[in-house]
Amino acid sequence: MTKRIKLNFVEKNCPILDNPGLWTYPESEAHRHGDLSYWMELAVLLEQAKFDGIFLGDALGTFDTYKGGRDTAILEGISMPIHDPTYLIPAMASVTRHLGLAVTCSLTYDHPYALARKMSTLDHLTKGRIGWNIVTSNLDSAARNFGYDQQIEHDSRYDRGDEFLEVCYKLWEKSWEDGAVVRDIPNRMYTNPAKVHDIAHKGTYFQVPGIHLCEPSPQRTPVLFQAGSSHRGREFAAKHAECNFLNAVTVEETRYLIRDVRAKAEKYGREAGDILFFPRIVPVVGATDEEAQQKIDRYLQHLSTEGTLALLSSWTGIDLYGYTPERLYELIAGKSGGNGYITDYLRRAQQDKQWTMEELARLYAFGGLGNVIVGSPGRIADHMESFIQQTGADGFNLGYITRSESVTDFVHQVIPVLQRRGLVQSEYREGTYREKLFAHQAGLPRSHPGAQV
């Protein structure tokens, strides 16, 4: 039997999703990220199509590497303005009943006592549909505005992250016992105080002696998402993540990353099925392959090469302004820092052929390192099916090129094909987001470190 392909749709509370220039097409949609109506309509559409969830990205700073400043990013609307994504959740929850709602929150600039409360509150309000994409943030501009001279050093950010999660797990899993809240009117007991416990956490980064402020929510711990691609990031994902987002484009890389994280996860006593893997794809669909090709040609006319170089510069940590492809290659080859995955990818691409800067920009322009697939509904479904079979991935994070149009095309044209082939669900299973994804209980499995604090 073919395994079911799980689908999360990716969005961000800003003008465009990693596609510089595309805010100009279609012209009416980019700014709608500030309107509740956009998010509520989107949630309804995704639930009608039986998507597993929506995934909201975020950033807490400006993309200011290119030309040594933020002007290109601001001009192009690249992650700027970028509003708080967590406040989209309650409105989307109010018009849906099943759709999973995963949101990015950085643990670098928040306190675990406050973040644990946010997530518990949202898990109550959504009746158990919350996922948390754990990020440690990677923008210097964010660090500076939160009062640090520069961002906390990469590896110690993850050490702090480990302890941050330990505090959250204690608050979510151990502070309030099942059955603590009794609402026993004859005995006039709302909560049994004997079943509410101090977590007494004393660590390197945090001291949290007290109790959680929220009663246990349906899932207690939100479904945990992670997307780290560095070595330390994959280690972190192997320990904590239940869903892992991958930016790998090729079958080989995807397969490698999945095996690597699964192998690391074993060290922590976790089982093979405990982590689901979601590579990103960006479908461009037409009724026929020709129509799809015409569509992407139309999109390409809106593409901004400058904007793409600005995006790439921030991702790699290298100011690409004025660089030749050769200089870029030399720089990358001689550089050990930056984002390992992206720099590796660039290096390999450079070995295969002599890219121009424009071509490099185009390569990255669509889908934000996602795997862009162009074609008829049947072709896209074929690709998705074979990619899953070849890589062992569990589903996809679906990126888009144009707001509203891309997802509407996919829902109306590709979803019916996938459903007819039995590749995606046609009905929702009852239960929480975790139950829907894993078919086990609402809470964390026993093998997860959060269940062992």
- Residue 294, token pair as written in the block: 């015409």
Whether 76 and 306 have beta carbons less than 8 Å apart is answered as yes
Nearer to a second copy, 152 or 331 (CB): 152
Distance CA 386, CA 65 (A): 38
String of DSSP letters for 35-64 = -HHHHHHHHHHHHHTT-SEEEEE--SS---
Nearer to a second copy, 192 or 408 (CB): 192
Longest Cα–Cα distance in the chain: 79
The minimum distance between CB 315 and a second copy, in angstroms, equals 19
Cα separation, 225 vs 276, in Å, equals 9
What beta strand segments (E) does 69-200 contain?
A: 100-106, 130-135, 181-184, 189-191
φ/ψ of 51, rounded to 5, equals -60, 145
From the list 160, 167, 170, the residue with the least C-alpha distance to 137 is 160
- How far apart, in Å, are the Cα atoms of 391 and each of 31, 241, 249, 342, 387? 37, 19, 11, 20, 6
Pairing of strands 53-57, 100-106: parallel
CB of 173 or CB of 235, closer to a second copy: 173
Q: Indicate the residue among 200 and 333 with the shorter CB distance to a second copy.
A: 200
| C-beta of 14 vs 265, nearer to a second copy | 14
Query: Cβ of residue 54: shortest distance to a second copy, in angstroms?
Result: 15
Q: How far is the CB of 218 from a second copy (least distance, A)?
A: 10
Q: Are 76 and 361 in contact (CB under 8 A)?
A: no
Q: Minimum distance from CB of 32 to a second copy (Å)?
A: 11
How near is the Cβ of 163 to a second copy at its closest, in Å? Answer: 12
Nearer to a second copy, 43 or 415 (CB): 43
State which residue, 229 or 304, has the beta carbon closest to a second copy: 304
As measured in angstroms, the least distance from the Cβ of 396 to a second copy is 28
SS3 221: coil
Q: Kindly state the smallest distance separating residue 249's Cβ from a second copy, in Å.
A: 27
Nearer to a second copy, 175 or 371 (CB): 175
Q: Is 279 left (phi over 0), alpha (psi -120 to 50) or beta?
A: beta
The nearest distance, CB 159 to a second copy, in angstroms, is 17
* Tokens (6 digits) for 372: 């862009």
